[in-house]
Amino acid sequence: MVIVNPGIAELVSGTPAYALYHRMLSAFEESAAVESPNFSGPDYITDGVVDTAKIATDLATYTGILRENSAYLWSTAIIDCAENSGGDTPGNFTSGTFTGKLTALFGFDAGDNGTKILSVYQDVDKNSFVDITGKLNLPSTGLFVNNINVVRYSGNQMIFNAGTGNDISFESGLVIGGSLSLTKDGIKLSKNVDGTVVSYDYYHSGNSNMGTVDWAMKNSSVAGSLTVSGGSTFNGVVTSHNGISLGFKYTDTNNNPVDKEMLSITSGTKIDVTSDLNISGAYGVLFDGNKFLHYKVKEDLTLNTGVVCLSAGGKILNLGDDGTSSITLQSGLYDAKNENQIISIYGDGYFPSSFRAAQGTKDVAATYINATLYSDYGLVLYKNLRIGSVTGPNIYSDDGKILSMSLLLGTSGIISSISNIASTSLYRLDGYSSLSISTASNFIEINNPVEAKTSLGILNSKTRLLDKELFFSDGVYLVTNEGLDGLTHYGNSYIDGNIGSKTFSSGFAGSGWKIQKNGTTGNIIATVDELVVRKKMRVYDLEVETISASNGAFWISDSCAGDAVIEIV
């Protein structure tokens, strides 16, 4: 069994033996600290074969290094202990305990457990040094230089003091916390960026309050005004909740400086713009995420120019809202393809595709075209067409078949209508129709001649007027003679009245002819110039009058007859 030598415990601290023991122990431990080769590793075994020659060579090298290290450490330990033990001459002392003043004017080394901690010496240039290889533990009163307490510890703070009116100067710089450094070139902050230490300038009032220094920061709070002389670039959101004023400084034509405000926000209800707003390209003004005012390039449309669009994005677009006095057109209003002018600036209207007019929810008029018969197109009036005023003559159709007119007589309207009906003419064939004109008026007056292409007739009667013919029935009619010098009458003639020549006067000296009824007797009287009867003539009462002339009028009659007898009283 291996045991520790009991004499080690009897060594007295501070004695040469104690010091030499610990010095030698440290030397042994340091010499044994050399890493030994791993003879079982891949450097010495390849494919299961041990390289014994390499092992022997490296083992010899390893043991040689151990011997050399041990020899060096032993020799230095013995020399150090010998130089620091006993004697009253410079560099030697014999006692390990001092009760008076210790003076070492030829250098001084001090330590513990064989390790040097403090060394006082001069170099070859007679520069004096005190080296401390361990920790320097000072009381809270700290360190005094030239009777000034330059460093002290108080209230959990390390206080540096150069004395009243004096400065603390660092010739090569000061590093605080391993990241903040103060040098004659300025203050820098070191930061580890992806494993690389990067040094940044630390800005303060002495090196940042000038127009030649760039500035970068994360967050900033400005209590007063912020004035920027150059350009400004914002890579994030700009927030201003207490108003904004944007403008431009320029020189006018009179060489006067002008500071013009162009856009401002001074309240929570509006934005004031006091200049033109120029929007380039296919951009515009959005409302609720939808384009309200924007520009379309001509490639988007079948037009010859670009188009500025006003839209509401699924909402209702009001023109002339909120007290607008009027809306005027300064140019014509065209269709979507810019081919037809719909409304001119003077109010002319043209609707090439269709037109529809309504009153409230009731359609009044609309244009139409027959989809199967393109020649059938026109205007549909759904109700009334008034002339002159809302109470004027009216044209309308209640059922779409009868065209009615309400014409005023005084203040009352008399209805007249025109319709196409199944014909009731005596001369109709199957499927024939008639244009029916009816009126509540008592008469129809026509101021100008009325002409018909074939005939004029009376409904449900055979009476009709044709060219050069007037029919009353199938066998009774009048026809103009071929020479157009008279009429030929077909059928019987019944005359209830007189008939005669255009001009007529009765009596022997009269002219013309006439067959007339005597108003007194009721007899029919025929007055002609001559009467020729080729065959038989029957006369129930024959009265013959002869007139002979003698130097005046003289009447001779062999009989007498009167039309009436008048009693003379």
What are 268-298's pLDDT values in tens digits?
889 999 998 888 877 888 888 888 888 876 6
Q: Are 141 and 152 in contact (CB under 8 A)?
A: yes
**Which segments of 208-355 are extended strands (E)?**
244-251, 257-265, 272-273, 284-287, 290-296, 307-310, 333-334, 341-343
User: Which pLDDT band, with edges at 50, 70 and 90, does 264 fall under?
Assistant: very high
Instruction: Report the C-alpha gap between 565 and 82 in whole angstroms.
Output: 214
| Predicted pLDDT of residue 514 | 95
More confident residue, 58 or 327: 327
More confident residue, 254 or 220: 254
Q: Which two three-digit tokens encode residue 110? A: 């001090």
| Predicted pLDDT of residue 87 | 44
pLDDT at residue 553 tops 70: no
Residues 6+ apart with CB under 8 A from 543: 559, 561
DSSP character string of 389-454: STTS-EEE-SSSSEEEEEEEETTEEEEEEEEEEE---TT--TT-EEEEEEESSS----SS----SS
Average pLDDT over residues 352-374: 90
pLDDT in tens, 168-217: 887 787 887 778 887 877 788 888 888 888 887 777 777 777 777 777 77
In the block, tokens 């013919």 appear at: 469
DSSP label at residue 55:
H
Lowest mean pLDDT segment, chosen from 2-16, 354-368, 437-451, 483-497:
2-16
Q: In what order do the strands lie in the sheet with 412-422?
A: 384-386, 394-396, 402-409, 412-422, 433-439
pLDDT in tens, 464-504: 999 889 999 888 999 998 777 888 889 998 888 899 999 99
Q: For the chain, give the percent of residues with pLDDT over 90.
A: 17
Instruction: Report the C-alpha gap between 11 and 15 in whole angstroms.
Output: 8
Residues 6+ apart with CB under 8 A from 267: none
Residues 6+ apart with CB under 8 A from 420: 401, 433, 434, 435, 436
Domain locations in the chain as residue ranges: 283-315+331-353, 387-442
DSSP character string of 186-203: EEEEEEEETTEEEEEEE-
| Predicted pLDDT of residue 185 | 75
User: What pTM was estimated for this model as a whole?
Assistant: 0.41
User: Which pLDDT band, with edges at 50, 70 and 90, does 91 fall under?
Assistant: very low
Q: What pairs with residue 437 in β-bridges?
A: 418
φ, ψ of residue 83 in degrees (nearest 5): -70, -25
| Average of per-residue pLDDT values in the chain | 82
pLDDT in tens, 455-465: 888 888 999 99
In the block, tokens 């009283």 appear at: 569
- CA 36 to centroid of chain Cα atoms: 81
pLDDT at residue 36 tops 80: no
Burial of 471 (0-12, 13-18, 19+ CB in 10 A): buried
φ/ψ region of 104 (left if φ > 0, alpha if ψ in -120 to 50, else beta) reads beta
Average pLDDT over residues 244-249: 90
User: Which pLDDT band, with edges at 50, 70 and 90, does 97 fall under?
Assistant: low
**End-to-end CA separation in angstroms for the chain:** 215
- CA 533 to centroid of chain Cα atoms: 112
Q: For the chain, give the percent of residues with pLDDT over 70.
A: 87
| Predicted pLDDT of residue 382 | 85
Q: Which two three-digit tokens encode residue 111? A: 């330590």
